[in-house]
Amino acid sequence: MTTDHALAEILSANAQHWSWGLREAWNLLYRQKLTNAQAYAVLTKCGFTSEQVGSLFITAEMRHAGLVELKKYEVQQLELAISKRTRAIRAKQKKVASLEKRQDKLRKQRGKHAPKPGKTRSKKYLDTLSKLREIPSELAFCRNWIAQKERVLAAKQGALKRLRANIAAERYSLCFGSKKLLSQRPGAHNTDTTPLLQ
């Protein structure tokens, strides 16, 4: 049992050291923009062998290349979503314009078929009135729909603009682990609850 426990501790320490080295390699290569030789010198001073530094560089480069492709794909998906939403909004705006025209036409018909004083309302007048009463609710629905979609569209356009700016500046965020793991990182706020300290 003690041998297994000691082995687990060694493996855990090595995994933590490797994870730290990978984060440091990423930081040196893609945040500080050092050359491979400069980053190599820094990492060897931290206790990594030349083979380990080579492995760290390869892993960091592979993750960077994957992340670049992922961001390109995200740009394509955002562009596609924006294009679809723009077309949908235009179609709904055409429907609003059509409903407004129909409303104006029905109002004219209502005035034309309006009963004279002392006369009963005709069937045509009642039919026109019935059709006219349906339009405001449909118009309100369409306008509300457009407003909601335009808000989402503006958010997507902002996200696309930020993403393109990050790609142009070669800023790529990389998380070594999940958000849940990040929230469990040891600190003053969670010394009693974090599993990493137990």
Q: Give me the tens of pLDDT residue by residue for the chain, a chain 198 residues long.
A: 456 666 566 656 667 778 888 889 988 998 888 999 999 999 999 888 889 899 999 999 998 898 899 999 999 999 999 999 999 999 999 999 999 999 999 999 888 888 888 788 888 888 998 999 999 999 999 999 999 999 999 999 999 999 999 999 888 776 656 666 666 666 666 666 655 444
For residue 119, count CB atoms less than 10 angstroms from its CB and return exposed for 0-12, middle for 13-18, buried for 19 or more.
exposed
Tokens of 146: 């457009």
Domain containing 153 equals 2-197
The pLDDT value given to residue 179: 63
Q: What is the number of domains present in the chain?
A: 1
The pLDDT value given to residue 190: 63
The pLDDT value given to residue 23: 86
> What whole-number distance in Å separates Cα of residue 124 and Cα of residue 148?
37
The pLDDT value given to residue 198: 42
How big is the CA angle at 138 (ends 134 and 141), to the nearest 5 degrees?
150
The pLDDT value given to residue 169: 87
Contact 89, 153 (CB under 8 A): yes
